Amino acid sequence: MAPVWLLTTAIFAPLVCGLVSLIVPRRIIGLRVAIALAGPMVAIWLIGSHIATHGTGSIPPAVEWMPTVKLELALNPDKLGLFFALLVACIGLLIVLYARAYFGPDRDSLYRFYPTLLLFMTAMLGVALSDNFMLMLLFWEMTSISSFLLIGWERDDPAAVKKAMQAFVTTAMGGLAMMGGLILLGAHTGQWTYSGLLEQGVHGDGLTTTAFVLIFIGAMAKSAQFPLHFWLPGAMAAPTPVSAYLHSATMVKAGVYLTGRLWPILAAAVPLWPKLIIPIGAITMVYGAYIALRKEDLKQIFAYTTVSQLGLLICMYGLSAYNFVAHHATGSGAEHIGAHGEHGAEGLAAALGQPNLIWDVTQILNHAFYKAPLFILAGAIGHVASRQLPELRGFFWRDRTSRIMTTVLLAAAFALAAFPGTLSFTAKEFFFYQIYHGYEATHSAWFWPLFAAGIATGMFNVAIFTRLFTTLTARPEIHTHVHEAAHGHGNGNGHAHTGHAHAHDGHSHETGLWPAFLWIPGAVIVAFQFICGLVPGAYELLFGWLEPSKYYFEHFPMIPSFSTPPVYMSLACVVLGMGLGLSPVLRKIYADPFDHLYPGFYTGVTKKLGPWAFGLVQRGHAGFYVGAVTLGIFALFAWAVSFHPELIRWPTGAVLEPVGDLLPGYLIVTIVAVATVLMPIVKDRAARVLVLGTAGFSVTAVYYLYQAPDLALTQISIEIVSLILFLLVLSLLPDRKVGKPIYVPIRLLIAAAIGIASFWLTLTSSVGHQPTMPYTTREGVNLANLGEYFLRNSYHSQDTLEVEPEQVYGGVVDRGVAHRTGYGTPGSSHEDAPETRGDPSVTLHKGGGGANVVNVILVDFRGFDTMGEITVLGLAAMGVWTLLRRHPRKGNHQASQPNKSVERNDPSEDPEDDRELVTEGSPT
Partner 1 sequence: MTVLTAILVGLIFACSAYMMLGRELKGVCMGVFLLGHGANLAILASSRSPVGLIPPVLDGSALSRYVDPLPQALILTAIVIGFAVQAFLLTLLVLTWRRQETLELSELAEEQSH
Pick out residues in 465-524 that bind partner 1 (CB under 8 A). Answer: none
Is 825 among the residues that bind partner 1 (CB under 8 A)?
no
Is 527 among the residues that bind partner 1 (CB under 8 A)?
no
Binding range to partner 1, per CB under 8 A, among 322-330, 393-401, 507-515, 743-751: 743-751
CB of 150 vs partner 1, minimal distance in Å: 39
Which of 124, 221, 520, 699 binds partner 1 (CB under 8 A)? It is: 699
CB nearer partner 1, residue 583 or residue 717: 717
Which of 37, 165, 576, 750 binds partner 1 (CB under 8 A)? It is: 750
CB of 686 vs partner 1, minimal distance in Å: 12
Site for partner 1 in 639-668 (CB under 8 A): 654-657, 661-662, 665-666
Is 741 among the residues that bind partner 1 (CB under 8 A)?
yes
Strands (E), 420-461: none
Site for partner 1 in 223-252 (CB under 8 A): none
CB of 842 vs partner 1, minimal distance in Å: 17
Rounded Cα–Cα distance for residues 409 and 98 (Å): 15
Which of 176, 893, 897, 919 binds partner 1 (CB under 8 A)? It is: 893
CB of 761 vs partner 1, minimal distance in Å: 7
Which of 758, 896, 899, 922 binds partner 1 (CB under 8 A)? It is: 758
Is 22 among the residues that bind partner 1 (CB under 8 A)?
no
CB nearer partner 1, residue 3 or residue 840: 840
Rounded Cα–Cα distance for residues 507 and 107 (Å): 12
CB of 841 vs partner 1, minimal distance in Å: 20
Residue 472 dihedral angles phi and psi, to the nearest 5°? -70, -35
Which of 703, 805, 905, 915 binds partner 1 (CB under 8 A)? It is: 703
CB of 311 vs partner 1, minimal distance in Å: 52
Cα atoms in the 13 Å half-sphere on the side-chain side of 405? 31
| 186 neighbors 275 (Cβ within 8 angstroms) | no
| 75 neighbors 56 (Cβ within 8 angstroms) | no
Rounded Cα–Cα distance for residues 233 and 25 (Å): 35
CB nearer partner 1, residue 176 or residue 732: 732
Is 609 among the residues that bind partner 1 (CB under 8 A)?
no
Which of 5, 448, 634, 706 binds partner 1 (CB under 8 A)? It is: 706
N-terminal to C-terminal alpha carbon distance within the chain? 75
Rounded Cα–Cα distance for residues 457 and 282 (Å): 9
Which of 688, 727, 782, 840 binds partner 1 (CB under 8 A)? It is: 688
CB nearer partner 1, residue 586 or residue 728: 728
Q: Find, among 234, 233, 226, 186, the residue nearest to 208 by Cα.
A: 186
Is 918 among the residues that bind partner 1 (CB under 8 A)?
no
Rounded Cα–Cα distance for residues 615 and 598 (Å): 24
Q: Beta strands 71-73 and 796-801: pairing type? A: unpaired
Peptide bond into 227 cis (omega under 30): yes
| 224 neighbors 232 (Cβ within 8 angstroms) | yes
Which of 350, 531, 571, 833 binds partner 1 (CB under 8 A)? It is: 833
Helices (H), 583-708: 597-603, 610-617, 622-643, 663-681, 685-705
SS3 track for 103-170 = HCCCHHHHHHHHHHHHHHHHHHHHHHHECEHHHHHHHHHHHHHHHHHHHCCCCCCHHHHHHHHHHHHH
Rounded Cα–Cα distance for residues 710 and 694 (Å): 20
CB of 688 vs partner 1, minimal distance in Å: 6
Kindly give, in sequence order, each residue whose CB lies less than 8 Å from that of residue 557, ignoring residues fewer than 6 positions away.
536
Rounded Cα–Cα distance for residues 435 and 282 (Å): 11
Binding mask 765-804 for partner 1 (x = CB under 8 A): xxx-----------------xxxx-xxx-xx---------
Binding range to partner 1, per CB under 8 A, among 47-55, 263-271, 422-430, 727-735: 727-735
CB of 616 vs partner 1, minimal distance in Å: 18
687, amino acid identity? A
Which of 819, 840, 897, 918 binds partner 1 (CB under 8 A)? It is: 819
Rounded Cα–Cα distance for residues 919 and 916 (Å): 5
Rounded Cα–Cα distance for residues 441 and 328 (Å): 11
Site for partner 1 in 871-890 (CB under 8 A): 872-873, 875-877, 879-880, 883-884, 887, 889-890
CB nearer partner 1, residue 482 or residue 752: 752
Site for partner 1 in 849-868 (CB under 8 A): 851-854, 857-858, 862, 865-866
Q: What is the CA radius of gyration of the chain?
A: 36
Binding range to partner 1, per CB under 8 A, among 155-163, 199-207, 607-615, 690-698: 690-698
Rounded Cα–Cα distance for residues 829 and 806 (Å): 17
Site for partner 1 in 59-98 (CB under 8 A): none
